[in-house]
Amino acid sequence: MSDYTQMWKDLGLNLEAHDMLLNVLGNAYKDIYLAQKNRPEGMGYFDFVMSEVHGLRIKELLDEKAQGRKIIGSYCVFVPEEIVLAANATLVGLCSGADFAVEEVEKYLPRNTCALIKSAFGFKLGKVCPYLESADMVVGENTCDGKKKAYESLGSLIDNLYVMDLPQMKSEQGKALLKGEYYRFKQAVEKLTGVAITAQSLKKAIQTVNAKRTAIHRLSELRKAVPTPISGLDALLANQVFFYDNPARFTESVNKICDELEKRIQDKQGAVPAKTPRILLSGCPMAVPNWKLPWIVETSEAVIVGEESCVGERGTRNLVDESIGGVNATDNDEMIDKMMDAITDRYFKVDCAIFTPNQERLNHIVEMAENYKADGVIHYGLQFCQPYIMESIPVEKALEGKNIPTLRVETDYGMEDAGQLKTRVQAFIEQLR
Ligand code: SF4
Ligand code: SF4
């Protein structure tokens, strides 16, 4: 691995704290990912990406910046990558998947704030995230109350924070609000980049992001096989890297793994034996390096076959209608407006628990459990996350109505509850047998 010390220093990272983070991350990756057996060869690409996640990928982004391209960071799947790409900028996910600088964080946020929000602050206060420090704009969104209020404080730490408002109901008014916000975001991105979005550039961006999501759909489809050809941990990693990697390279790499998995399925070669209990995970997003629960499940002789999560199917499931405007479409406001409608339609379908009512999500979980032939569902709620924890009760009821066993867990990023969690998960898996 090259020496990136100077690059990190130039970004203003706290080198000592950053080294510590990389150490913990590297060890966790070794123990959780590299210890798995029978992995597809194509995962070598993702192992490489993870080994260079603060190195080569950052260097690539800084090279892009040197050529005038802007970098935009985001915390939520409601931020449309299509608009960012169309203005010749790059969107990166800001992870929020680990605790950092907790004491400092609690000077800004109450203790009973979810780990995801605390983590966003911890990475900023600890000066350990090169993505955050490279970003020319950081987008927050008014989703849950926690995030909404936290961005007011985060704004005092990040001078380029842009806050996007989001609707809470799936009504016509809600959709109009989302479209209005996407137009406001388009303007802000155009101002940042100095690039006016055209019908052609927007169409091309829609196609690029659709291709990325289609590759993930292909991967998900293959996980339905019995035995499933890839572990849940490996599939989760692909879903996590979705937020960081160059889109075209990511699409190609996932499709390459899918070719290999198709061959595995033909040869009846599974990542685990066919009789291994199959689990669907549902709930809060699992950002890098939050692998705790999947690791517990998959070291308890079960396999995860799907994620009903924003780092999973909730985030990737729908495509933007790309039939609007041909390659030679004229660059006019009407065409752009139709595409903005198509983008709004796509994102408006995301069934995050911040929406009320949210029956669509309950239906989708049941549908996923059936389609992925899951023997049981584990609902994962981050402690203090009201939207998902509250919704876990109707989720359990909807699944019970279909005789699908469900386990509701509440946890955080710490390892203190790992033993207790493992006991509960093992008992649940035993019940599924
Ligand atoms: S769970 Fe909701 S707030 Fe969180 S990333 Fe998903 S859509 Fe955004
Ligand atoms: S996990 Fe829950 S509380 Fe935390 S940011 Fe997401 S929706 Fe908000």
The CB of 382 under 6 Å from ligand 2? The reply is: yes
Q: What average pLDDT score do residues 290-294 get? A: 97
CA 208 to ligand 2 center in whole angstroms:
28
Which residue has its alpha carbon closest to ligand 1 atom 1? 352
């809060």: which residue's tokens? 284
Q: What average pLDDT score do residues 291-313 get? A: 98
Cα gap 398→418, rounded to integer Å: 28
pLDDT at 41: 96
pLDDT surpasses 80 at 207: yes
235: Cβ contacts below 8 Å, ≥ 6 apart: 219, 220, 223, 304, 307
| Residue 324's pLDDT band (cuts 50, 70, 90) | confident
Cα gap 78→346, rounded to integer Å: 10
pLDDT surpasses 70 at 330: no
pLDDT at 167: 98
SS3 162: strand
CATH of region 5-195: 3.40.50.11890
pLDDT at 331: 65
245-256: per-residue pLDDT in tens?
999 999 999 999
**What is the number of alpha carbons within 13 Å of residue 60 lying toward its C-beta?**
13
**What is the number of alpha carbons within 13 Å of residue 301 lying toward its C-beta?**
12
Q: Which residues line ligand 1 (CB under 6 A)?
A: 76-78, 143, 285, 310, 350, 352, 354
pLDDT surpasses 80 at 328: no
Q: Name which of 137, 142, 234 is nearest 188 in CA terms.
A: 137
| Residue 325's pLDDT band (cuts 50, 70, 90) | confident
145 alpha carbon, closest ligand: 2
5-40: per-residue pLDDT in tens?
999 999 999 999 999 999 999 999 999 999 999 999
Q: Where are the domains of the chain?
A: 5-195
Q: What average pLDDT score do residues 177-181 get? A: 98
